[in-house]
Chains A and B, each alone.
Chain A
Amino acid sequence: SQQGEEDPQALSIQEGENATMNCSYKTSINNLQWYRQNSGRGLVHLILIRSNEREKHSGRLRVTLDTSKKSSSLLITASRAADTASYFCATDAKDTGRRALTFGSGTRLQVQP
């Protein structure tokens, strides 16, 4: 399968709570990225973490990467209704020359006001 796996597939939380999404991938990577997609819209790039990094922060976002387990997590703190969207991780493939990204299956986040 081209895709990695994400869990949960769907997540519903209350405004103010934290949301954690997990992503697993299959190949060695140069970097891993997280994207957000509002329903029927294009992708919004959130954050990129390189394979030699373990954690990265950007505003209310915290991303971790464990290359030994081929997994990453995205934490959104103090969630807002506007965070409602689908979230995808995407990886490149190291040492293959392949530049296209492989996307995870996605997590649909619903933040209740």
Chain B
Amino acid sequence: GAVVSQHPSWVICKSGTSVKIECRSLDFQATTMFWYRQFPKQSLMLMATSNEGSKATYEQGVEKDKFLINHASLTLSTLTVTSAHPEDSSFYICSAGRLAGGGDTQYFGPGTRLTVL
């Protein structure tokens, strides 16, 4: 099966610092990756769609200058939380889309827990 990894799995940082989260598709190429955010006891909310070689598409209400997304290769997308604040503390989950057999399947990473002090 297709595997998606995320690194780091958890990170604690001080307020005002920037944190980079990596999402990798390990055994397939993903032209599109998705970044979701999940607050405690809530559902996943889409933040942005990351397209290889082009700018990400952000959902309404998500600040593109705060959440920088780079999709430099077909197997790697990064999310950088700039000038992190405690309210950015959340569980960040990526998924990678794979088109195969006439279908579109998304494979989810294990998530990254960000805690901003």
What is A's interface to B at a CB cutoff of 8 Å?
A: 2-3, 30, 35, 40-43, 45, 88, 92, 99-106, 108
Contacts and interface: CB of A to CB of B under 8 A. Distances in A.
A104 B44 CA distance: 8
A2 B45 contact: yes
B106 interface: yes
A108 B95 CA distance: 22
Contact of B46 (A2, A41, A45, A104): A2
Contact of A103 (B32, B43, B109): B43
The 9 closest A-B CB pairs, nearest first, are A42-B110, A43-B108, A103-B44, A42-B111, A103-B43, A100-B46, A106-B43, A100-B34, A105-B43
B46 A102 contact: yes
A103 B108 CA distance: 13
Interface string B17-60: 00000000000000010101000011111100100000000010
Q: Which of A3, A100, A103 has the most CB of B within 10 A?
A: A100
A72 B59 CA distance: 26
